[in-house]
Structure 1
Amino acid sequence: MKMFLRKAHARLYRYSVGFFYFVFWPLLYYFSRKPERYVSMNKVRRAWGFVSSLIAGITYKIEYEQKVDWSRTYIICPNHTSNLDITAISIAIKNNISFMGKDELLDGLVTGLFFRTVDIPVNRESKMSSFRAFKATAERLQKGVTMIIFPEGTIPDIYPPEMISFKNGPFRLAIEHKIPIIPVTSLNTWQILWDDGLKYGSKPGVCNIFVHKPVETADLTIEDTDALRDQVHSIIQQKLQTA
């Protein structure tokens, strides 16, 4: 019975996401037509994610280690255990944002509009696709757009979830462009909805997100990439262990 209810709730959540996508679609479409409107598109994305979650009884509690200067550009590096992480990060990060995500999202009914416009698709199995994606990311950073890159590259196929090793890409970018990294720990989104919710369903609840203080990169060189990667991994891992 418990699993039946969880799967029924996951269906409710998916229907809510789909329904409010079409409610907000005229605004999303209008703001997606020109890059200068992406700031407004992101505001609508936040509203859409918040409302569609709320209807399913899912809310977000964001805690910041310190006050963040949102006038700066950042690379955001969260751990990844749930589709809810997308909404959580959208709400937690207050400036203009762009996600990097797998290129399969280009074909998604809901995600396709974003990954053809404001977000950046990547096929990590293709060196050419990865090169183009990181080149596009560098251009966004230079324009003051904060990039959100899940350094694990995927939601790990481990339940209960355990963080896997991080890819080097976002850390190399941060050092090359002297952009601070903000680690973000998603503490319990997997308990509300793991992955896409198809296997274990979902439930109402509060998603707890911790936004760490920025890690500065201005004095680092490319030789420090591995150390920076391991530092950010350790920051998130320690928070998960002490939560």
Structure 2
Amino acid sequence: MVKLLRKTHTIVYYGAVLFFFALAYPILRYLILRPSNYYNQIVFLRKWISLLACRLVGIRFKVAFEKTIDWTKPYVICPNHTSILDITAVNYVCKQPFSFMGKIELLKNPVTGIFFKSVDIAVDRKSKVSAFRSFKRAHQLVNEGKTIVIFPEGKIDDEYPPRLHGFKSGSFRIAIENQVQIIPVVIQDAWKVLWDDGLKKGSRPGIVHITVLAPIDTQNLTTEASIQLQTEVYHRMKSYWDIYNDH
């Protein structure tokens, strides 16, 4: 019975996403004709599609900030990744327009595809050319004063229960090369509400707790320091992850 209820909840969740996306679609179709002109509006609709869908099925978000964030500045935001709800969690946390960097497969999704063709950045990690173009685009957006969100683990791992996996270097190089701060974000228990895409374990109503750590300065750091910065951010995030995800 529990499995059936969780599966049903997942179906209702996806239905809610499609419902709010369908409502916004006519406007989005117009806005994406000129994504650079309507960047903020497209990001606004992406945010509220995800938040309203979660709210409709009883998924809430609770955030704690280690330090007050100045949202007038661009950042590289680095969240951990265990659930598709992580996208909504970042939408909830971030108070300024931003772009996600995500896997190229998201271009094929009818909902995420429209955003990855306009404001977000799709990357094929198997292709050096694609990766180069994607990171070049990320640099461009940061230079324009926009925030970039990169999941440093690179993917949702198949391991269940999940753990915090090692980080890739891309986000840290972007932050250092553009001299912008990194904001580590620990999404502590989204996987307990909806793990991965929800198709294996289902989902349920619940609260997703988020801890936003203090921004880390990259001023005066060189590219060679990216590995040290990567290690520092990993251990800071893991200390919070271990507290709230004791299996």
* TM-score higher than 0.5: yes
Once the two structures are superposed, what CA deviation does each residue of 1:46-75 show, in whole Å capped at 9, x if it has no partner? 211111111111111121111100111100
Gaps of 5+ in 1: none
Matched residue type, 1:155: I
- The answer to whether the 8 A contact 1:156-1:163 is kept is no
SS at match of 1:36: coil
Which residue is equivalent to 1:215?
216
Gaps of 5+ in 2: none
Which residue is equivalent to 2:148?
147
- The answer to whether the 8 A contact 2:65-2:213 is kept is yes
Partner Cα distance (2:46, 2:117) in 1:
15
1:19 and 2:23 are equivalent in the alignment? no
Which residue is equivalent to 2:5?
5
The alpha-carbon deviation at position 233 of structure 1 amounts to 0.7
Partner Cα distance (2:28, 2:69) in 1:
27
- Equivalent runs, 1:1-243 vs 2, <5 Å: 1-34=1-34, 35-243=36-244
Matched residue type, 2:12: L
Cα 1:29–1:62 change in 2 (3 A) is farther
Partner Cα distance (2:8, 2:202) in 1:
7
Identity between Structure 1 and Structure 2 (%): 43
Partner Cα distance (2:240, 2:219) in 1:
25
SS at match of 2:216: coil
Once the two structures are superposed, what CA deviation does each residue of 1:178-225 show, in whole Å capped at 9, x if it has no partner? 010000000010000000000000000011111111000002111111
The alpha-carbon deviation at position 36 of structure 1 amounts to 2.5
Matched residue type, 2:2: K
Give RMSD over aligned pairs.
Answer: 0.9
Partner Cα distance (1:184, 1:8) in 2:
30
SS at match of 1:61: strand
Matched residue type, 1:11: I
With normalisation by structure 1, the TM-score equals: 0.98
The alpha-carbon deviation at position 45 of structure 1 amounts to 1.5
